[in-house]
């Protein structure tokens, strides 16, 4: 919005007819505009119209953004903006953010509203997330060996994958390293972020991390190695989701990763990489997800599925269901029934599942997973457990 403040000198030009209209009519005209860009152009026309848009943005901007985002991702979009506004990242500020935006992930702080600048930023971010979602489908879903022509993403799957990318951006805003702000260890991030989500939600972030490792990690390492941009001993730190230099690149967020994707040449990609070549981050997403696990207690997940209160009895994690498809939690339960609570998030034995985005899938698409363990009956049993729980809660 800073550029919008630099409007034309108004004393040397005739007044536009729109500027002379009553405020109520201006608002009606704002609502009739086709998109946010049109609203931005109106606000850039003159000081008085800029002020008129600012005065009305609490009511005008939200409908535009709601229409443009299409899917149920507005709460995550609001959380992206709110997380970017946290100034010093004190623990109190972080917990207040979590209470307002993470406790109930399909609602947000009623005091929150999008400014026009916020909406324009989210509009751009949303287009990037749409691009990443399409890539995710190709990388994770179209590689099924049993399905030559997989069905396109369902509405639930599209919204689910997009929400995961939004959550990734929220996480980046909260925990990328900043010298002038408070930073948190992987263990501290558990209380501030991961503990607010269901285990399958956290596993969705692991799938996002694996996706970027597959699409960017090897490519980054190849550039570094072929161009002698770093010692050979450091090349491996760009490989795999747990490489500390790869983790730093992840922490730069979706806009940076999209810029890297859309760079027109190798030279442009190298220019994007140079400022970050020697930077590492050992307390970012991979370490944060691994720290969600509890100390080994010898009790398998199948022995403590759901408590009457709806929590997992062992780890005590919250259970959220954002859509009416059972795929994500059935996939997670079915693949972890014989694991104890020290291996329930980012299980080292399940990398192929992360490659295939297993907790992003609708239930019907789980049957196409080409994996090595025998979980067919376990998935069915897990679904029956959930159905019984849901039936009991409805009767109660």
Would you state the pLDDT for residue 391?
58
- Structural domain includes residue 43: yes
Residue 308, domain member (yes or no): yes
Q: Please, are residues 306 and 312 in contact by the beta-carbon 8 Å criterion?
A: yes
Q: Which domain holds residue 58?
A: 3-64
Place of tokens 């943005």: 57
Q: d(Cα 109, Cα 356) in Å, to the nearest integer?
A: 34
Instruction: Decide if 42 is inside a domain.
Output: yes
Judge whether 173 lies within some domain.
no
- What is the pLDDT at residue 185? 94
Q: Examine the pLDDT at 393 and tell me if it is beyond 70.
A: no
Residue 7 pLDDT > 50, yes or no?
A: no
> Does 73 score more than 60 pLDDT?
yes
Residue 52, pLDDT > 70, answer yes
Answer whether residue 319 is part of any domain: yes
Cα dihedral 347→353→359→360 (10° resolution): 140
Q: Report the candidate in 315, 83, 64, 344 with the shortest Cα–Cα distance to residue 200.
A: 344
Alpha helices in the chain (DSSP H): 23-32, 36-45, 47-69, 74-84, 91-101, 116-136, 155-175, 186-192, 199-212, 218-226, 232-235, 244-251, 254-262, 266-273, 285-290, 327-336, 351-355, 363-366, 376-395
**Whole-prediction pTM:** 0.85
CB proximity list for 354: less than 8 A, separation 6 or greater: 203, 206, 207, 209, 210, 346
Domain boundary among 64, 83, 106: 64
Largest CA distance in the chain: 79
What is the mean predicted confidence (pLDDT) over 349-378?
Answer: 72
pLDDT > 80? residue 1: no
Q: Does position 146 have pLDDT exceeding 80, yes or no?
A: no
Q: Pick 72 or 262 by higher pLDDT.
A: 262
Distance, in Å, from the CA atom of 99 to the CA atom of 104, rounded to the nearest integer, reads 8
Token digits for 363? 């239930």
Phi-psi region of 310 (alpha: psi -120 to 50; beta: other; left: phi over 0): left
Residues in the chain: 396
Q: In this structure, what are the phi and psi dihedrals at residue 147, rounded to the nearest 5 degrees?
A: -125, 110
Give the SS3 label for residue 208. Answer: helix
Lowest mean pLDDT among 88-92, 137-141, 232-236, 303-307: 303-307
Mind listing the pLDDT tens digit for each residue in 198-252?
889 999 999 999 999 888 877 777 777 776 666 666 666 666 677 888 898 899 9
Cα angle value 256/259/265 (rounded, 5°): 135
Could you give the 3-state DSSP secondary structure of residue 340?
strand
pLDDT of residue 168: 98
**Reported confidence tier of residue 33, pLDDT bands at 50, 70, 90:** confident
pLDDT value, residue 309: 44
Q: Is residue 123 assigned to a domain? A: no
Separation CA 153–CA 150 (nearest Å): 9
Bridge partners, residue 300, by sequence: 340
Boundary residue ending a domain (64, 83, 101): 64
pLDDT digits (tens, 9 = 90+) for 317-362: 666 667 778 788 888 887 887 888 888 898 767 778 888 899 999 9
37 part of a folded domain: yes
pLDDT for position 370: 47
Contact between residue 89 and residue 182 where contact means Cβ atoms under 8 Å apart: yes
State residue 374's pLDDT score: 45
Structural domain total, the chain: 2
159 domain-assigned: no
> Which pLDDT belongs to residue 8?
42
- Tell me the CA distances in angstroms from 166 to 75, 101, 114, 211, one per residue in order: 10, 13, 16, 14
pLDDT value of position 95: 95
Which has more pLDDT, 59 or 203?
Answer: 203
Q: Which of 21, 49, 64 is the last residue of a domain?
A: 64
């Amino acid at each position: 919005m800073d550029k919008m403040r630099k409007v034309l000198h108004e004393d040397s030009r005739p007044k536009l007819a729109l500027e002379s209209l009553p405020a109520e009519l201006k608002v009606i005209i704002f609502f009739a505009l086709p998109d946010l860009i049109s609203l931005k152009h109106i606000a850039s026309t003159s000081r008085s119209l800029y002020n008129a848009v600012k005065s009305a943005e609490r009511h005008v901007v939200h409908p535009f953004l709601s229409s443009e985002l299409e899917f149920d991702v507005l709460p995550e979009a609001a959380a992206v903006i709110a997380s970017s506004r946290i100034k010093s990242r004190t623990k109190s500020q972080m917990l207040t953010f979590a209470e307002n935006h993470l406790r109930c992930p399909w609602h947000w702080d009623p005091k929150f509203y999008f400014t026009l600048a916020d909406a324009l930023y989210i509009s751009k971010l949303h287009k990037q997330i749409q691009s990443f979602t399409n890539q995710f489908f190709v990388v994770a879903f179209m590689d099924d060996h049993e399905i030559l022509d997989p069905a396109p993403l369902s509405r639930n799957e599209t919204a689910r994958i997009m929400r995961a990318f939004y959550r990734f951006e929220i996480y980046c805003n909260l925990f990328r390293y900043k010298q002038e702000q408070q930073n948190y260890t992987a263990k501290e991030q558990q209380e501030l972020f991961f503990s607010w989500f269901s285990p399958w939600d956290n596993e969705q972030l692991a799938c996002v991390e694996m996706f970027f490792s597959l699409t960017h990690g090897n490519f980054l390492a190849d550039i570094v190695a072929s161009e002698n941009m770093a010692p050979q001993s450091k090349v491996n730190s760009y490989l795999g989701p747990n490489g500390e230099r790869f983790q730093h690149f992840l922490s730069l967020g979706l806009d940076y990763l999209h810029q890297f994707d859309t760079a027109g040449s190798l030279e442009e990609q190298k220019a994007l990489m140079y400022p970050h070549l020697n930077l590492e981050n050992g307390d970012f997403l991979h370490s944060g997800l691994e720290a969600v696990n509890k100390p080994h207690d010898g009790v398998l997940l199948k022995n403590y599925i759901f408590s009457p209160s709806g929590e997992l009895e062992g780890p005590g994690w919250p259970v959220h269901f954002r859509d009416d498809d059972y795929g994500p939690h059935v996939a997670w339960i079915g693949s972890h029934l014989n694991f104890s609570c020290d291996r329930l998030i980012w299980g080292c034995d399940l990398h192929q599942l992360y490659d295939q985005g297993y907790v992003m899938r609708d239930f019907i698409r789980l049957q196409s997973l080409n994996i090595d363990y025998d979980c067919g009956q376990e998935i069915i049993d897990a679904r029956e457990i959930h159905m019984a729980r849901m039936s009991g809660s409805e009767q109660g």
